[in-house]
């Protein structure tokens, strides 16, 4: 991590943040913009893989830096299944993609210029000492702060549904892609090993990011996703292997569930630990950024949990959706395509972002097939 390193004797702060990932740096940056505080970010220094982070936005202040560093943006996005395909056209909302490596570097630089300080190390234990929280480091040194936020320690249910994926940045030998329209979910692929779709971000006519994404409880071997992508490129893009160059890959596994923060004494959970991620989709970038901005702009910092990525009613809707997908995975292609058909693009984006207001929720509910959802509602 970039940033100013501090001497061992300077170990007291107003705010301590455990974890130098997206949540930790976003919170540090926004706190530095709204308050005059001594802020320390404690991070174990482990390498963080470079990923594509996608998000919808309509010009919100908490995503200004992300828009500045976006790889591209799209007004049109498509959801497709074998019998139907729907192109959605955003008016206020656009879809953006940003490189996590590029964005995190920019965020770290902003923090450094705002005198946020960084400590390399692992926090082993926290405890309350009068009006401070004490963090005991692996090297047996201590850091104390009035407010400590924990962005890394949380527990997801082991057997919950997961979103697992492998994506490839590719370059092709002929003009193939439409840079003005992304493929959000293409279900015209094998559905035998989970709810499976392709996610395609076209950056130019010859360069794109293609990701094989699955909703299920168990991830596949990396070669499985590579085979799915290769088959999709051949069948849907009509390209032969020698016409395609894989520039780099990325992969990951995300829980599709609410999580529980580990009970670290004196710590406020934040980011994924505070359920910033949208459970039904695993979207988290915009939600974490909003959570950090909204918490930081408070006039005074109080011991209080930050707002989750979705409100109570949306979390209930997510639980219903995941229950339906778990018990009836074969419904997924038509269900998502039906949403795209019946809900306007901007309302769809608002709902996916979370904390969407009454009308987007109502329109989304009306788009759902009543039978399986009513059965799930009874169970809840």
> Residue 2's pLDDT is what?
47
For residues 27 and 112, state if they share a domain: yes
Examine the pLDDT at 8 and tell me if it is beyond 70: no
Residues 143 and 198 reside in one and the same domain: no
What confidence category does residue 379 fall into, taking pLDDT thresholds of 50, 70 and 90?
A: low
Which residue reads 């009454």 in tokens? 358
Q: What is the CATH number of the domain that holds 102?
A: 3.50.50.60
Work out the angle at residue 246's Cα, subtended by the Cα atoms of residues 89 and 236, and round it to the nearest 5 degrees: 50
Q: Residues 86, 88, 89, 91: is their CA dihedral positive or negative?
A: positive
Q: pLDDT for 235-268, tens place per residue?
A: 999 999 899 999 999 999 999 998 888 878 999 9
The span from the CA of 254 to the CA of 162, in Å, is: 6
User: Helix, strand, or coil here: 202?
Assistant: strand
Note down the domain range covering 176.
Answer: 162-255
**pLDDT tens digit sequence for 299-330:** 888 778 899 999 999 999 999 999 999 999 99
> Residue 215 maps to which CATH number?
3.30.70
| Range 122-141 average pLDDT | 91
189/243 same-domain check: yes
Q: Percent of the chain scored above 70 by pLDDT?
A: 97
**Tokens describing residue 229:** 């992508």
Share of the chain above pLDDT 90, in %: 85
Q: Is the residue at 11 inside a domain? A: yes
Question: Is 325 found in the same domain as 207?
Answer: no
Instruction: Find, among 45, 60, 140, 132, the residue nearest to 93 by Cα.
Output: 60
Please, which contacts does 138-144 make with residues 24 or more away whose CB atoms are closer than 8 Å? 141/8, 141/11, 142/11, 143/11, 143/12, 143/13, 143/16, 143/40, 143/42, 143/119, 144/11, 144/12, 144/13, 144/16
Q: Does one domain contain both 43 and 103? A: yes
Q: How confident is the model at residue 140 (pLDDT cuts 50, 70, 90)?
A: confident
Burial class (CB in 10 A: 0-12, 13-18, 19+), 328: middle
Q: Which of 346, 277, 279 is nearest to 307 (CA)?
A: 277
Q: What angle do CA 12, 18, 24 make, to 5 degrees?
A: 110
Tally the domains of the chain: 3
pTM above 0.85, yes or no: yes
In a domain, 64, yes or no: no
- Do 23 and 124 sit in the same domain of this protein? yes
Averaged pLDDT, 70-99: 97
Distance of CA 317 to the CA centre of its chain: 19
Q: What is the CA radius of gyration of the chain?
A: 22
DSSP string covering 294-306, please? HHHTSSS--S-PP
Residue 68 lies in a domain: no
Specify whether 147 is located in the same domain as 170: no
Hey, is 192 helix, strand or coil?
coil
Q: Does the pLDDT value for residue 6 go beyond 50?
A: no
Q: Is the pLDDT of residue 297 over 80?
A: yes
Among 3-12, 37-46, 309-318, 346-355, the minimum mean pLDDT is found in 3-12
How far is C-alpha 198 from the chain's CA centre? 17
Domain shared by 41 and 103, yes or no: yes
Q: Does 34 share its domain with 113?
A: yes
Q: Could you tell me if residue 170 is inside a domain?
A: yes
DSSP for 228-248 reads HHHHHHHHHS---GGGEEEEE
Is the pLDDT confidence value at 149 over 80? Answer: yes
């Amino acid at each position: 991590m970039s940033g100013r390193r501090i001497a061992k004797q300077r170990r007291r702060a107003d705010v301590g943040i455990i974890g130098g990932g997206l949540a930790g740096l976003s919170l540090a940056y926004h706190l530095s913009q709204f308050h005059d505080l001594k802020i320390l970010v404690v991070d174990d220094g482990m390498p963080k893989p470079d990923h594509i982070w996608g998000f919808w936005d309509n010009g919100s202040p908490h995503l200004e830096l992300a828009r500045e560093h976006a790889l591209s943006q799209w007004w049109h996005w498509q959801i497709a299944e074998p019998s139907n395909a729907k192109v959605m056209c955003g008016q206020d909302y656009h879809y953006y993609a940003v490189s996590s490596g590029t964005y995190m570097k920019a965020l770290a630089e902003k923090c450094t210029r705002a005198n946020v300080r960084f400590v390399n190390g692992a926090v082993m234990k926290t405890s309350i000492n009068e009006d401070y929280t004490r963090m005991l480091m692996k090297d047996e040194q201590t850091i104390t702060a009035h407010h400590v936020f924990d962005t890394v320690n949380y527990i997801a249910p082991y057997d919950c549904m997961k979103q697992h994926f492998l994506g490839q940045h590719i370059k092709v030998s002929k003009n193939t892609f439409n840079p003005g329209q992304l493929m959000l979910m293409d279900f015209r692929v094998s559905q035998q090993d989970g709810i499976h779709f392709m996610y395609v971000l076209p950056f130019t006519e010859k360069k794109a990011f293609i990701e094989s994404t699955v909703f299920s409880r168990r991830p596949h071997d990396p070669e499985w996703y590579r085979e799915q992508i290769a088959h999709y490129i051949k069948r849907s893009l009509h390209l032969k292997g020698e016409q395609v160059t894989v520039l780099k890959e990325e992969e990951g596994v995300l829980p599709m569930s609410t999580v529980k923060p580990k009970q670290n004494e004196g710590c406020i959970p934040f980011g994924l630990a505070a359920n910033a991620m949208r459970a039904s989709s695993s979207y988290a970038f915009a939600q974490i950024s909003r959570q950090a901005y909204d918490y930081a702009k408070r006039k005074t910092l109080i011991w209080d949990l930050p707002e989750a990525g979705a409100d109570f009613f949306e979390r209930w809707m997510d639980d219903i959706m995941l229950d339906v997908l778990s018990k009836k995975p074969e419904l997924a292609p038509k269900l998502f395509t039906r949403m795209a058909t019946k809900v306007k693009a901007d309302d769809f984006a608002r709902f996916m972002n979370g904390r969407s207001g009454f009308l987007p929720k109502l329109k989304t509910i009306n788009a759902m097939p009543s039978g399986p959802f009513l059965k799930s509602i009874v169970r809840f």
